[in-house]
A = this chain, B = another copy of it.
């Protein structure tokens, strides 16, 4: 609670500094992201807000999510199924993902060795590394054991 409030205040000042307006839609979208641990897709956020009778449009959700990404509050991730996912970046440090191809389950991981190698490889090839994209795709334990039904998750 306290942390979320702090983030709300931070976002408001970020908006003011950029002389952007503090609108009910922007704040509602921010809170929706702050209060969820999952990797949310735009339409999912849109539906949640509408269910809570928040007056907002898809276009505004997209615009605000982009804005939140720009100010560093949100991480936009591409898991390769044609829909972007957004997650609270302030709450969580950098990480990559393992994705179950059957049920869509997403698990986070960080590996210092890999991060180290990425830096070295980039340098070796004369690149200034700005960001990376790293996903492992496979089958989670439950899906291998046949405890789940296909179709649900990502088809990436």
Q: Which residues of A contact B (CB under 8 A)?
A: 78, 80, 98, 100-101, 107, 109, 111, 113-114, 117-118, 121-122, 125-141, 144
Contacts and interface: CB of A to CB of B under 8 A. Distances in A.
Given A78-B80, A113-B113, A128 B121 contact: no
Given A118-B136, A137-B132, A139-B130, A98 B113 contact: no
Nearest to A141: B126
The complex is assembled from copies of this chain, and their number is 2
B135 A121 contact: no
A153 to B, nearest CB: 13
**Among all A-B residue pairs, the 8 with the closest Cβ atoms:** A126-B141, A127-B138, A129-B138, A130-B138, A133-B135, A128-B139, A128-B138, A132-B136
A141 B126 CA distance: 5
Contacts of A134: 132-135
A127 B109 contact: no
Contacts of A117: 111, 113-114
B128 A144 contact: yes
28 contacts: A78-B78, A78-B80, A98-B121, A98-B122, A100-B127, A109-B121, A109-B125, A111-B117, A111-B121, A113-B117, A114-B114, A114-B117, A114-B118, A118-B136, A121-B136, A125-B140, A127-B136, A127-B140, A127-B141, A129-B136, A129-B137, A129-B138, A130-B138, A131-B137, A132-B134, A133-B134, A133-B135, A134-B135
